[in-house]
């Protein structure tokens, strides 16, 4: 099923030169021949799920009979034999199988089905390698029953009525909970149409850059007065091309290769099941360096080092913290990796720039693609040493089995080849190139793009044509003559009518001047291919996947399935295509270890699969500058929590198309609470750095202040994820698993167990709306900014004031959160004074913890965990570890206090350091506590008029305008702030020993 956005009013709008400054410096383009557009076409196929003539394997195939069943305390093993004549529906039936069921522990079940007789060449069923999971095996299979052929495996399972299933990334979807009529196809592709600007990367429900065959299911039991729930994870350990077909009463799993290898993880709660998956099979996520949690800025279109410095200075002048400046392709010579564009990015000037940047505690992250340009051997000026060094080691992917020729496709620089990262020599080559480049320009990490093995031509199109290099890809790129983007967000015409009218005219003029066909020329259609005994059809397998690109072919815009690796079994891309992302990620990770020994690698990868979180983070692709796309980043982020890749973010303000002030403001607020916080856009659109609009700058400063206040909390969450498999971004239903009304929530999310984010996700609004879960069970909620208590009814959709500079953030009662005064970078923030916020639950208690280390070392020599407990009017700390943090404690704030007023805080065990605090008769330090003025102690009655956005089955639309009446009950609680702690903090830091503070 496809969802399409339905927008309000005029969508075409104006190019930004009339409204915003452009980055300095002209765009320069070197004229090169262009590859013919026909090279990017391929024969079409008809996807099985829409082909009425396709055989139904459940009807025509006999299934299997179990025999020789052996049971034990740890599982079941049985022989499976085909129960009748082979049907060979989509491949050659495998006559004899083994069923192996293992009860691996109380919460993990593994079911494998694989051929009984394997020969070494039968590598469709087992892929050799060592790149994925902690156990050292590449993913190779799926799990339990039904159809088993050499190019088609199918499992059908019944589902409960109204089931709640989440996950199966990567796709851009309108909801977090998957529809019960839905198909998710997995085959990595970069979705680029014949006109780059018209369809780049973001079609809804499409197969994208990553494959994670895992879902979370939650089932609610409403038959008792108190609703309960149970959750489990299903993970199919198979990375061949595949489809998951959801129907109202069943789920169908189909894959075109491999074996069946299913893992089932029981909760009972969602967070339990997610932790079991990570701890038991795919591994826990890597600890990122502390500085990775700052704010990052990049644009395709920063033409030189001077522009980079102006962007850094612009953020400094606007008082917006900037952690790292990144480079897109602009810094490279003709897009060739590991090269220097000495006209615009000369090395000496770059070294000076990086010296200044690093001196300020800031970082540089350039882009890296895993394709290698092939130089024209007849043109000595076209020499490319990186290619030559790889060629000398014969380490590139080949055109086919027994072929000595490299597979040559096309990428940004022209005809290119790809390193075969199954080879140890390729890893060494990759690391050597990184070290060599770092010696010239000391980068701080890599942003690994196009790692889904994309090629914008069909087959090995460069074979025999290398003399034409450098050659242009078969479509215009953003920013080239005629490729200006005039699109703006939904509702832009309402508040910018003049610009919208100008844009509409400009767009029509451009379309007339540069006509581009919106559909490809006709290509032949390959009909159903009948299986041939003993032969696998890799190019057009009998079962056709429902791929998004026109024609649905495995050949489109990807290295062809018949391309062959250099391992002893000559494994093909048919088996390894969806694994190239993690193979190239592992090589890049290892290269960073070589380049920066002892430091945590910071790496962001476009293509991921199970286990990638051990190595890298991920961003959500080249999203569009639309309100609908911003809305959908929340479901996308939550699905990557299920996939075990919590360090996730999106292209804030949008990559494709022009943003506007309101959208960019709201998006900067939202992304401030995603782990990866990065602003990125294309070079044929307006500039969108956060300092471009005064309102956006102010909103960003406010949201970023909260982000930095929560850095210690967030970093601690990542440590817990790394050690225990817990999650960072969470659906509301994960923290409140027994409330079925939360099962569909996609417009709110939580940061860990305690922070609730309710963003504004539509234009022209001054209020946000959301629910406060757990109210019926006594959960207390507080406004983070004021610490005033929120009073709402159970299940109430509360309207929250949210003027343009404000994003509602709330904290759950029962938490102790330690924070530091925000600085201009995460490094400055780490040197700030500590504050402790105690938000009390219904029992007047709270707890929490923080994890401390040096923030950069791969192996930590010293760490520290401080656990906070507040009970019986006393805050106590329990400290484990020896890491030294010398920062003082500035204040402690208590919210939600009920009872006799607090007048002072007595520190029971801190040696006096001096200052104005007076010691009581027992020698204990006594500090003043003042009632903090908030709006929580006033009875308020608010009336808000607003419009809702939501999914109506056809797209994102306005719902009716209506009014919501909210009554905030008079608060019966108080907030106190106790100050002066820095005067009595130990010289070696507040966390040098246990702290006991009693409030009286």
Cis status of the peptide bond prior to 269, with omega within 30 of 0: no
pLDDT in tens, 150-206: 999 999 999 999 999 999 999 999 999 999 999 999 999 887 654 554 445 567 888
pLDDT at 8 over 60: no
| In the predicted structure, residue 940 carries a pLDDT above the cut 50 | no
Rounded Cα distance between 19 and 41, Å, is 39
User: Is residue 441 domain-resident?
Assistant: no
Check pLDDT > 70 for residue 759. Answer: yes
Q: For the segment 916-928, what is each residue's pLDDT rounded down to a tens digit?
A: 444 444 445 678 7
Rounded (5°) CA angle 108-109-115: 145
Rounded to whole angstroms, the Cα distance separating 577 from 558 reads 9
State how many domains the chain has.
1
Is residue 656 a part of any domain in this protein?
A: no
**Pairing label, strands 603-605, 815-820:** unpaired
Q: Look at residue 924 in the predicted model and tell me its pLDDT.
A: 57
Query: Is residue 820 domain-resident?
Result: yes
The answer to whether residue 277 is domain-embedded is: no
Tens of pLDDT, residue by residue over 879-897, are 999 999 999 999 999 999 9
What pLDDT, on a 0 to 100 scale, did the predictor assign at position 928? 78
Report the chain's C-alpha Rg in angstroms.
29
Residue 740 lies in a domain: yes
| 657 within some domain | no
939 has a pLDDT exceeding 80:
no
Which residue did the predictor score with more confidence, 30 or 397? 397
In what helix (H) or strand (E) does residue 315 lie, and over which residues does it extend? helix 305-317
Distance CA 586, CA 991 (A): 37
In contact, 503 and 472? CB cutoff 8 Å:
no
Enter the DSSP assignment of 353: H
| Residue among 310, 331, 363 at smallest CA distance from 692 | 310
Contact criterion met (CB below 8 Å) for 409 and 558: no
pLDDT for position 595: 98
Rounded Cα gap, residues 811 and 799, in angstroms: 17
Using DSSP, state whether 858 is helix, strand or coil.
coil
Phi, psi of 494 (to 5 degrees): -70, -40
Percentage of residues of the chain with pLDDT beyond 90: 74
- Cα 569 from Cα 138, distance rounded (Å): 15
- Domain of residue 819 covers 710-999
Asked if pLDDT for residue 402 goes beyond 60, the answer is yes
**For 771, phi and psi rounded to 5 degrees?**
-110, 160
Cβ-count burial of 954 within 10 angstroms (0-12 exposed, 13-18 middle, 19+ buried)?
Answer: exposed
Question: Among 341, 331, 274, which Cα is nearest to 299's?
Answer: 331
- The pLDDT tens digits of the residues spanning 537-596 come to 999 999 999 999 889 999 999 999 999 999 999 999 999 999 999 999 999 999 999 999
CA distance 165 to 232: 10
Q: Are 685 and 657 in contact (CB under 8 A)?
A: yes
Q: Answer whether residue 642 shows pLDDT above 60.
A: yes
Q: Which region among 48-52, 138-142, 847-851, 872-876 has the lowest average model confidence (pLDDT)?
A: 138-142
Q: Is the per-residue pLDDT at 31 higher than 90?
A: no
- Sheet (strand 372-373) strand order: 372-373, 414-417, 409-411
Q: How much is the average pLDDT of 638-642?
A: 98
Contact 304, 350 (CB under 8 A): no
Assign residue 767 the CATH number of its domain: 2.60.40.1180
Indicate the DSSP class of residue 279. I
SS3 608: coil
Give the contacts of 355 (CB within 8 A, at least 6 positions apart).
none
Q: What is the DSSP string of 469-525?
A: -S-B-SSPPTTSTT----B--TTHHHH-HHHHHHHHHHHHHHHHHS---SSPPP--E
CA 750 to chain centroid: 16
748 in any annotated domain? yes
The answer to whether position 818 is within a domain reads yes
**Half-sphere exposure in the Cβ direction for 435 (13 Å, CA):** 14
Lookup: tokens for 859 = 């192996």
Phi–psi pair at 777, nearest 5 degrees: -95, 10
Cis peptide before 268 (omega within 30 of 0): yes
**How far is the C-alpha of 195 from the C-alpha of 516, rounded, in Å?**
7
Q: What is the pLDDT of residue 937?
A: 34
Measured at the alpha carbon of residue 603, what is the angle toward residues 602 and 605, in degrees to the nearest 5?
160
Match 């939600």 to its residue by tokens: 896
| pTM for the whole structure | 0.91
Torsion of CA 443, 449, 453, 454, to 10 degrees: -130
Using alpha carbons only, what angle is made at residue 971 by residues 970 and 975, rounded to the nearest 5 degrees? 150
Q: Which of 388, 359, 349, 357 is nearest to 372 (CA)?
A: 388
CA distances to 297, 677, 707, 809 from 294, in Å: 10, 7, 9, 19
Work out the end-to-end distance of the chain between its first and last CA atoms, rounded to an integer number of angstroms. 62
């Amino acid at each position: 099923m496809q969802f399409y956005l339905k927008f309000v009013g005029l969508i075409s709008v104006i190019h930004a030169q009339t409204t915003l400054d452009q980055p300095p410096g002209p765009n320069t383009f070197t004229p090169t021949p262009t590859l013919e557009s026909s090279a990017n076409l391929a024969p079409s196929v008809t996807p099985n799920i829409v082909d009425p003539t396709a055989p139904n394997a459940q009807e025509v195939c006999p299934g299997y009979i179990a025999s020789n069943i052996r049971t034990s305390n740890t599982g079941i093993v049985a022989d499976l034999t085909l129960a009748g004549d082979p049907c060979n529906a989509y491949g050659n039936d495998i006559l004899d199988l083994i069923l192996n069921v293992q009860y691996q522990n109380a919460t993990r079940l593994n079911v494998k089905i694989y051929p009984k007789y394997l020969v070494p060449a039968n590598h469709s069923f087992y892929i050799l390698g060592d790149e994925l999971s902690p156990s050292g095996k590449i993913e190779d299979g799926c799990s339990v029953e039904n159809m088993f052929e050499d190019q088609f495996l199918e499992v059908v399972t019944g589902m409960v009525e109204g089931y709640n299933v989440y996950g199966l990334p990567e796709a851009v979807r309108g909801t977090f909970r998957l529809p019960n009529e839905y198909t998710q196809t997995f085959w990595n592709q970069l979705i680029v149409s014949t006109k780059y600007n018209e369809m780049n990367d973001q079609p809804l429900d499409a197969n994208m850059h990553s494959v994670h065959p895992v879902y979370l299911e939650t089932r609610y039991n409403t038959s008792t007065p108190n609703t309960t729930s149970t959750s489990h994870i299903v993970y199919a350990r198979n990375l061949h091309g595949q489809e998951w077909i959801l129907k109202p009463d069943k789920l169908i799993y189909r894959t075109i290769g491999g074996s069946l290898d299913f893992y089932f993880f029981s909760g009972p709660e969602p967070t339990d099941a997610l932790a079991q998956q990570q701890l038991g099979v795919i591994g826990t996520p890597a600890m990122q360096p502390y500085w990775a949690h700052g704010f990052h800025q990049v644009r395709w279109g920063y033409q030189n080092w001077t522009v980079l410095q102006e962007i850094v200075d612009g953020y400094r002048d606007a008082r917006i913290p900037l952690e790292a400046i990144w480079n897109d392709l602009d810094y490279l010579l003709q897009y060739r990796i590991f090269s220097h564009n000495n006209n615009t990015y000369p090395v000496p000037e770059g070294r000076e720039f990086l010296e200044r940047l690093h001196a300020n505690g800031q970082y540089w992250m350039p882009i890296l693609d895993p394709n290698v340009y092939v130089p024209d051997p007849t043109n000595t000026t076209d020499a490319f040493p990186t290619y030559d060094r790889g060629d000398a080691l014969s380490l590139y992917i080949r055109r086919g089995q027994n072929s000595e020729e490299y597979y040559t496709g096309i990428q940004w620089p022209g005809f290119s080849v790809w390193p075969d990262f199954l080879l140890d020599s390729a890893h060494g080559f990759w690391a050597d190139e990184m070290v060599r480049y770092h010696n010239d320009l000391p980068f701080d990490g890599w942003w690994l793009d196009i790692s889904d093995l994309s090629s914008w031509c069909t087959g090995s199109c460069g074979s025999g044509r290398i003399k034409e290099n450098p050659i242009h890809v078969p479509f215009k790129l953003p920013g080239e003559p005629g490729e200006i983007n005039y699109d703006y967000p939904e509702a832009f015409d309402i508040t910018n009518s003049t610009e919208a009218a100008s844009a509409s005219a400009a767009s029509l003029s451009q379309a007339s001047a540069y006509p581009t066909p919106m559909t490809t020329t006709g290509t032949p259609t390959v009909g159903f291919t009948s299986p041939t005994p003993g032969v696998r059809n890799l190019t057009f397998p009998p079962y056709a996947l429902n791929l998004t690109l026109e024609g649905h072919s495995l050949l489109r815009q990807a290295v062809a399935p018949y391309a062959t690796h250099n391992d002893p079994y000559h494994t093909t891309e048919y088996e390894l295509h969806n694994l190239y992302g993690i193979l190239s990620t592992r090589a890049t990770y290892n290269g960073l270890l070589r380049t920066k020994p002892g430091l945590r690698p910071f790496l962001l990868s476009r293509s991921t699969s199970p286990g990638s979180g051990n190595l890298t983070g991920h961003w959500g692709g080249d999203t569009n500058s639309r309100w609908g796309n911003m809305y959908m980043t929340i479901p996308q982020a939550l699905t990557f929590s299920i996939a075990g890749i919590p360090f996730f973010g999106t292209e804030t303000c949008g990559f494709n198309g022009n943003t506007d002030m309101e959208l960019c403001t709201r998006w900067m607020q939202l992304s401030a609470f995603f782990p990866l916080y990065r602003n990125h856009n294309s070079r044929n659109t307006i500039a969108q750095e956060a300092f471009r609009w005064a309102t956006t700058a102010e909103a960003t400063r406010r949201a970023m202040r909260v982000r930095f206040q929560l850095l210690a909390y967030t970093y601690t969450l990542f440590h817990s994820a790394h050690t225990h498999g817990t999650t960072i971004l969470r659906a509301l239903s994960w923290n409140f698993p027994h409330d079925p009304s939360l099962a569909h929530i996609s417009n709110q999310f939580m940061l860990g167990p305690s922070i609730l984010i309710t963003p504004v996700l539509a234009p022209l609004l001054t209020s946000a709306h959301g629910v406060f879960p757990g109210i019926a069970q006594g959960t207390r909620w507080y406004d983070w900014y004021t610490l005033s208590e929120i009073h709402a009814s159970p299940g109430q959709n509360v309207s929250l004031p949210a003027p343009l500079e404000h994003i509602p953030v709330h904290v759950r009662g029962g938490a102790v959160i330690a924070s530091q005064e925000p600085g201009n970078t995460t490094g400055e923030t780490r040197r700030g004074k500590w504050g402790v916020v105690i938000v009390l639950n219904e029992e007047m208690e709270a707890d929490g913890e923080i994890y401390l280390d040096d923030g950069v070392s791969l192996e930590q020599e010293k760490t520290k965990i401080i656990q906070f407990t507040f009970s019986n009017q006393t805050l106590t700390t329990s400290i484990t570890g020896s890491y030294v943090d010398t920062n003082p404690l500035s204040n402690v704030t208590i919210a939600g206090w009920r009872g006799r007023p607090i007048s002072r805080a007595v520190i029971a065990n801190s040696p006096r350091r001096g200052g104005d605090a007076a010691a009581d008769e027992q020698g204990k330090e006594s500090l003043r506590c003042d009632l903090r003025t908030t709006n929580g102690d006033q009875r308020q009655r608010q009336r808000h008029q607003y419009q809702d956005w939501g999914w109506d089955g056809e797209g994102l639309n306005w719902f009716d305008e209506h009014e919501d009446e909210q009554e905030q009950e008079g608060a019966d609680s108080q907030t106190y702030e106790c100050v002066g702690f820095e005067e009595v903090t130990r010289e070696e830091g507040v966390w040098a020993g246990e702290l006991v503070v009693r409030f009286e």
